[in-house]
Amino acid sequence: MSQKRIAVFGSTGSIGKQTLEVIAAHPELFVAEILTAQSNDSLLIEQALQFVPNIVVIGEIAKYAVVKKALEGKPIKVFAGEEALEQVAGMDCYDFMMAGIVGFAGLKPTLTAIESGKHIGLANKETLVVAGDIVMQTAKQKGVDVIPVDSEHSAIFQCLVGEHNNPIEKIILTASGGPFLGKKPNFLVNVKRDHALQHPNWAMGAKISIDSATLMNKGLEMIEAKWLFGLHPSQIKVVVHAQSIIHSMVQFEDGSIKAQMGLPDMKLPIQYAMAFPKRLKNNFPRYHFDKPNQLSFDEPDVKTFRNLYLATEAMQIGGNAPCVLNAANEIAVYAFLKNRIGFLDMTELIERTLQKIDFIAHPSLDDYFESDGEARNYAASLIQL
């Protein structure tokens, strides 16, 4: 492999930090060309001083001066603001984008990169949840690879290598069940922020940790899988696999099932996406079969964790429904993290927003942005000040 220039969008988040660990472990193969962060200027500065990228972008314009001054004398160009993120995403100075910006904010830079012919490591599932039809069609037109970094979608992607001519009967996305597996509403009504952030298997950022606790994360992954792999909703199933060893499975028309297994470690799908189609040697922990282990599988409890039901409904309805679902969820999670609403209130807020916002069967990109704004405003109005 020749050295690949990596743009890490969202470098101070969980995915971004682990991406930089992979780059540091393989300096002969990867170089950090672009680093971006929304507000964590201190960590962005620290990363820039270590990796000396060509370009750094800080999303919050108010923090531009601090970053600029800290990197004075270094051969690093510093930009700030949302518009700068899009402009940098369209530059020719890099080969591969690690799309790690959390939430709807990741859509514009990722789409700009695809339109510029850049290959994508997609860790931002919301990009496909909101506008999967447009994103994947653009990628196809531009001949761009969109390689999933979510452990579940990476597993499906890996299982499909060499199976190009074999139709998929079904994919099975595995869910850990989060920190409240087996709990009922009378328990969940009292759940607080810190408890919900304690995922049993994965170390993740705050937003995705809450989504995992509500099972919304699995619902978003279903919608993402629909677009990534060109599937009908009826071909996507979720099972609870509390051990998080099997990351997902593909069932083919002959009944055979292929699974991808390994210990929970996001650096593995990150490295796989960056080096694809080559597999790189590493010292990540291995799963051992010499210890007595049980791998269990159960149906998800959609009566208790209704976010998964709402996401499934939005996927089946299509149009702008997944966009509205995602926008309402982002507002709900933000409010919960700020202790403004309760754990079960998140589901009610999302459901009411889905009922309120007008349905658009065949949205344009502008329609998606308008639906997102309307959904956020309505969801925010439901939160008691």
- Regarding pTM above 0.75, the answer is yes
Per the listing, tokens 């780059």 go with 23
326 backbone dihedrals φ, ψ, rounded to 5°: -65, -45
DSSP 159-226: HHTT-TTS-EEEEEEEE--GGGTT--HHHHTT--HHHHT--SS----HHHHHHHHHTHHHHHHHHHHH
Q: How many CB atoms lie within 10 A of CB 305?
A: 25
Q: Which residues of the chain have pLDDT under 50?
A: 385
Q: What is the DSSP letter of 41?
A: H
Q: Tell the CATH topology of 153-378.
A: Rna Polymerase Sigma Factor; Chain: A (1.10.1740)
Distances in Å between the Cα of 151 and the Cα atoms of 64, 65, 235, 369, 376 are: 34, 37, 19, 28, 28
How far is Cα 103 from Cα 125, in angstroms, rounded to an integer?
A: 8
Q: What is the DSSP letter of 180?
A: G
Q: Among 18, 24, 16, which residue's Cα sits nearest to residue 40?
A: 16
State the pLDDT at residue 289: 87
CATH of region 4-148, choose from 3.40.630.10, 3.40.50.720, 3.20.20.70, 2.40.50.140: 3.40.50.720
State the pLDDT at residue 292: 65
- Dihedral sign, Cα of residue 287, residue 289, residue 290, residue 295: positive
State the pLDDT at residue 204: 77
State the pLDDT at residue 132: 96
Q: How does strand 246-252 pair with strand 168-175?
A: antiparallel
pLDDT tens-digit map of 124-135: 999 999 999 999
Farthest-apart Cα atoms in the chain, separation: 62
Chain centroid to Cα 313, Å, comes to 20
Per the listing, tokens 């409010």 go with 335
State the pLDDT at residue 370: 98
State the pLDDT at residue 385: 47
How far is Cα 310 from Cα 322, in angstroms, rounded to an integer?
A: 9
257 backbone dihedrals φ, ψ, rounded to 5°: -120, 130
Burial label, 230 (beta-carbon count in 10 A; 0-12, 13-18, 19+): exposed
What are the extents of the domains in the chain? 4-148, 153-378
